[in-house]
Structure 1
Amino acid sequence: MNLAHRVCCRSRIWRAHVDDVLPWALEGVALEAATVLELGPGPGLTTDWLLPRVGSLTCVEYDASAAAALAQRSPGVEVHHGDATALPFGAGSFDAVVCFTMLHHLPSSAAQDRLYAEAARVLRPGGVFAGSDSRGGPLFALVHLGDTYTPVDRERLPGRLRAAGFPGGGVDTRRDSFRFRAQLSSR
């Protein structure tokens, strides 16, 4: 992430955004006793929101310094420095996989598709993949100058989730964000 992101994602403004978006993004997802994997938590404001609401929480963060800082300040969270497109967990390890405002930081649509497939692989039967991202636009693109920026095509996302192994997936939008949800079959 560029400097603007590093500052923004630690700010009170971003915390207010998290407090607004995460309840909407996870509406109806049962997390209370769930083993949850969060992908790309960055500095961990989303992790802070999730931790008191889940059974157990594991995070995978690509940036080594962000992963180390999150592990140090969040002893109740299992933090891994790693790549969300090649997860270090066995098949069927989690009840839910979540990610928030990070998909657009992957270098390509193909990398996003690998993340979706990995989410499906590490979920237990009946498990849920859910999250949110920004809707994009000219100002959002401007904030990403000098940064990786691959907007998610919301119209194609349900089909991409099906191709990754989810029987179906849904996308809803609001003013500046979209949320998605896909669930594996219970078998």
Structure 2
Amino acid sequence: MPWPLSRPGARLVGGCCGTTPEHITHMRVALDDPARPVPSLLRLPGEEPQAAHLANMLPPTRLARRLAEGQFVVSVEMSPPKGFSAERVLAGAATLQAAGANVINVADSPRARMRMSPWAVCHLVQTQLDMETVLHFPTRGRNILRVQGDLLAAHALGVRNILWSWAIRPRWASIRRRSILTMWCRPA
């Protein structure tokens, strides 16, 4: 079974709700396929980075180092709070950290419900608990300027582990001529 994410060069993949052992087996087979083309790096025309600029690059995150060394990583997903207080999320993350979790994955608007920005939650966990986070970064609803701006914002907040995902269409995406106001006022 061909698997689309292996073509652009994915090396680390996972699943969510509904992922079965059969799905995982297919993912593993697709990633281990020696015939799988490995994409070459895209080189854009322009100047090469200067040595001084490279010296200012940040070192790899603890998560990146653990993965590069082949260490087992315990990662737990948490949802941002529905209100302005992150106390429960921080308490939960502290409990998970004490139990051995290495990283907290912060979902982006799970179940398409309004919640605190995942950037803010990542920043709070990292600064208050000194625990690394992974920001879920779906591309749905984002144009290229928004993607760039959001990534700059994450970097400015110190969020450097990003879990990028392709867009999953909302349930109402197949309905034509539906306005934002209609979607806001009436549930789908």
- Using the size of structure 1 for normalisation, the TM-score is 0.33
Considering fraction of residues, name the structure with more strand. 1
- Using the size of structure 2 for normalisation, the TM-score is 0.33
Higher relative contact order (CA 8 A, sep 6+): 1
Considering fraction of residues, name the structure with more helix. 2
